[in-house]
Amino acid sequence: MNQKKKLEDQLYYAGLIVFVLSILALWIYYRLLPLQLFADGCVWQRVLGIYCPGCGGTRAVNALLHGNILLSLWYHPLVPYTAILFGAFMVSQTAARSTKYRYFKGMRFHNWFLYLALVILIINFVGKNLLRFVWNITL
Amino acid sequence: MDGNNFSNEPDNQDNLSNQNEQTTESNQNEQTTESNNNVYQDYTSNVQNQVPPTQYSAPEEKQTNVLAVVGMILGILSIIACCLNTYIAIIVGIAGLVCSILSQKQGKSGMAIAGIVCSIIGLVLNLSILVIGLVAGPALQEFVNQYGNYF
């Protein structure tokens, strides 16, 4: 039980660092976009002609930031999945720590969160390419 | 009444004698059982290699290492980041591989193995794309320019 608590403590502090770094990365991304640092697009699409496992991720983040959860789910389902799980974990843990665990314990971390993320990634990669090459449905 | 008493006296004496006999028999039986118990205890006390009583302990729950979790997250990110930038994806993949291997030293877990697999897949995909882009990039670009963007 103590090891579980220790794991969640470390994940919480790592999550805080990731949250700050992601805000910094978003700021850099929107600042550097006019410089066309990432303007080449996906190398997979240019070289192999297929969607890569991360294709649609940037559009999904944009859609999520604009409040379009369903559109974000269509572009890349891993983005809203991660945002919801990560947000729920961080908010509940912050609330529990600020009240010193008097009212609730906060969301627990389970290993299947990551395994499910991997399954979503694989299904999205296979499904998007099937939609593209079999039914001509593109992103 | 007297006759009854007279007639009952020897019966009472017989009963008393029977009771005494029974008590002596029961005492003898107890002594024999005690002696048997003593014999049994002697036999068991001479046994040297006695099996200790089994101790039932609750199975310990496998705890996931933080490095294993971070390694798997970085492995998944290295697969996803190929869309963003190949160089960043390679760096993330190497970091995930190192974290997963370090977590294996503290204890083997499925999460660490999954992290190693994801990192290796991400590294192989990104390195192959990088090599293809560097070696055959201009030729592919010429092909696309000549025949149009089929895809």
Distances (CA, A) of B62 to A4, A93, A111, B40: 10, 23, 11, 46
Closest in A42, A48, A121 to B79, CB measured:
A121
| Cβ B127 vs Cβ B90: under 8 Å | yes
Per-residue pLDDT, B23 = 54
Residue A36 backbone class (left: φ over 0; alpha: ψ -120 to 50; beta: rest): left
Chain B residues with CB inside 8 Å of A10's CB? 66
Domain extent for B32: 1-44
Question: B121 — contact with chain A (CB < 8 Å)?
Answer: no
Question: B99 — contact with chain A (CB < 8 Å)?
Answer: no
**pTM of the entire predicted model:** 0.67
Give me A48's structure tokens: 């192999």
- Does some domain include residue A33? no
- Does some domain include residue B89? yes
Closest in A10, A47, A49 to B129, CB measured:
A47
Shared-domain flag, residues B39 and B94:
no
Total number of domains constituting chain A: 1
One DSSP character per residue, A65-114 reads: HTT-HHHHHHH-THHHHHHHHHHHHHHHHHHHHHTTTSS---PPP-THHH
Percent of chain A at pLDDT exceeding 70: 88
Note whether A57 contacts B133, CB cutoff 8 Å.
Answer: no
Residue B59 identity: P
- Does some domain include residue A15? no
Note whether A4 contacts B132, CB cutoff 8 Å.
Answer: no
- Does some domain include residue A22? no
- Does some domain include residue A103? yes
- Does some domain include residue B96? yes
- Does some domain include residue B86? yes
pLDDT digits (tens, 9 = 90+) for A75-104: 999 999 999 999 998 899 888 888 888 887
Question: B147 — contact with chain A (CB < 8 Å)?
Answer: no
| Cβ B93 vs Cβ A53: under 8 Å | no
Question: B97 — contact with chain A (CB < 8 Å)?
Answer: no
d(CA A19, CA A89): 12
Per-residue pLDDT, B2 = 45
Mean pLDDT of chain B: 69
Is A38 or A64 the better-scoring residue by pLDDT?
A64
One DSSP character per residue, A20-54 reads: HHHHHHHHHHHHHGGGTTTTT--HHHHHT-S--TT
Instruction: Give the DSSP letter of residue B118.
Output: H
User: Nearest CA to B76 among A124, A72, A69, A8?
Assistant: A124
Mutate to test the interface with A, among B66, B72, B83, B135 (most CBs of A within 10 A): B83
Per-residue pLDDT, B151 = 42
Q: Which of A35-44, A121-130, B2-11, B53-62 has the highest mean pLDDT?
A: A121-130
Residue A35 has pLDDT above 70, yes or no: no
Closest in A44, A111, A118 to B64, CB measured:
A111
Total number of domains constituting chain B: 2
- Does some domain include residue B142? yes
B66 CA to chain A: closest CA distance, Å? 6
Note whether B83 contacts A57, CB cutoff 8 Å.
Answer: yes
Question: B68 — contact with chain A (CB < 8 Å)?
Answer: no
- Does some domain include residue A70? yes
Per-residue pLDDT, B111 = 86
Closest in B63, B69, B132 to A114, CB measured:
B69
Which ranges of chain B does DSSP label H, i.e. alpha helix? 2-46, 66-80, 86-106, 110-147
Shared-domain flag, residues B75 and B124:
yes
Instruction: Give the DSSP letter of residue B60.
Output: P
Per-residue pLDDT, B94 = 92
Note whether A57 contacts B79, CB cutoff 8 Å.
Answer: no
User: Nearest CA to A48 among B87, B122, B133?
Assistant: B133
- Does some domain include residue B99? yes
- CA-CA-CA-CA torsion sign (B62, B65, B69, B72): negative
